[in-house]
Structure 1
Amino acid sequence: MEMMLTVQDLTKRYHDFKALDHFSMNVEKGAIYGFVGRNGAGKTTLIRTICGLQAPSQGTYTLLGRKHNDPKIAKSRRKMGAVIETPSLYRELNARENLEVQLRMLGLAESAEIDRLLALVGLSEAGRKKVKDFSLGMRQRLAMAVALAGDPDFLVLDEPVNGLDPQGIIEVRELILKLNQKHQVTVMISSHNLDELARLATVYGFIDHGRMVKEIAADELEKTCRKCVELSVGSPEAAVETLESTGADYRVTAADTVEVYGEIGLSDLLLKLAKNGCAVLSMKARDESLESYYLSLVGGRDHE
């Protein structure tokens, strides 16, 4: 299999703090790679490192066939586009002018490519509108158009739907799918919106405290995710006491809600809850969510 990105034992230190700690990952060509981790886990540090904005303290990575210390790594980066944190756009310029600036920096011809990029991200009718008058979703799509200048094979997106309204989220999702499925662009997405990421990703990488916890394909994850029963209870304290006494695998997900995993004797559990003074207000069976799966991997630990 061909890899767009391979990271091996990468460490990034800031004085005594390790933002990345012997981190390894593999992004296969054609994938939509969901990069999952909480604030401070190391996601943005990894993205900034592979974009060449900072050097690793230790370890190596290979981008589109070239190692990071290869004198020709810039050629690989020309085939990579990225939107990192807040989109960098000229607010007083319009969409066309923003793209003109980017294309000039890349030494590329302008007019036909600008029209193609605006059409690709659904901004053909807004090309002469100033960016300061754009909605957040429009700015995000323009930032992606800027990242796509030069026709990259690999696109890296850091929180692409952060702050967007439902319509904006749908627009960005459809654009990512179109880029991947119709234009064969490999995409790596770092996101806190796990429900949205689950609609896109073909493979996941879970990072915690600067280390890769697990890489797993979406179809394998679907098989792995455990079945659970979600209980809304009148007394969470009594529910926890009962579940602890039975040795059940459970997680408290809200003030009055617990999820119980695995094969359970439901009738027996309900009887024990009732005897312990815990009323069950509602109950539903469902599969484990991506968020629950991630928390089960990292043990619900808080970041230091």
Structure 2
Amino acid sequence: MSLDPTALPVSIDATAKALLAHDYVAERELATTVFLALKLQRPLFLEGEPGTGKTEIAKTLAAMLGRPLIRLQCFEGLDLAGAAYEWNYARQMMAIRVAEAEGTAAHGRLDDELFGERFLIKRALLQAIDPANLVPPVLLIDELDRADEPFEAFLLEVLSDFQITVPELGTVRAVEPPIVVITSNRTREIHDAVKRRCLYHWVGFPDAARERAILARRVPGAPEALSAQIVAFVQKLRGIDLYKLPGVAETIEWTRALMALDALVLDPQTVQHTLGVILKYQDDIARMQGGEAARLLAEVQDAMRSAGRA
């Protein structure tokens, strides 16, 4: 009998293997945390630098388990109406006018109908715990640190009991909990009350070996020599005090850009002309322009030649 590809993995190794089958190269610690989050039905809280693959975990889990992905992109000013639900006031007013025209507005039944599901607009949080869901989705609450601190209080009921209380309707509770992934770039601290309800993992920059493995998966057509130089250069770049260090996403994007330029190896001119692909702030680009990028590239090439002779 064939295995169900949508079934939850039964071990840490199976989790890592399933992620790898969808081109996500996870370190052992992350695979362990993901396995436990799935096994214990606990939200997964991922914190780390931008571009290190936090959001990609939710996308990979949705693809891996054959579940719909519901994404709540956080931003300053996000409130309950934008994240969970709101009432369709325009339709409610139209229903009132129709009832008045038909002479049925005085009946108590209209009051009950106005705050029924027909007039309820379900946003991401309510969609994720909707008891009508045939398959529990993956709920991605992305960049929670961008939302205002008071918004975190709205999440506590969802994270603890997978339910939302709508005063006019009552409590909406998931039949089976969704898989919840919360990400933060740590531009501010997230309240302990949120973290206590989750399994936590810091997603750091990968070492050179894992970053090369990621490139082999994400940009399979890249020449091996070029990939090795790109990873070594980016690893060196992360050792410099820049405003925004390049993440794995930038490494992948830079590789694709260099391939579009038909580059086979790195050279100082190509690096200079493409710094804007891996560095996103002018001060960082200005610091690396001129001799600094060339010096860094020379160090990379010398280290690779020495390793080749060893």
Shorter chain as normaliser: what TM range?
0.3 to 0.5
Which structure's residues are more often strand, by fraction? 1
> Which protein shows a greater Rg?
2
- TM-score using structure 1 length: 0.36
Which structure's residues are more often helix, by fraction? 2
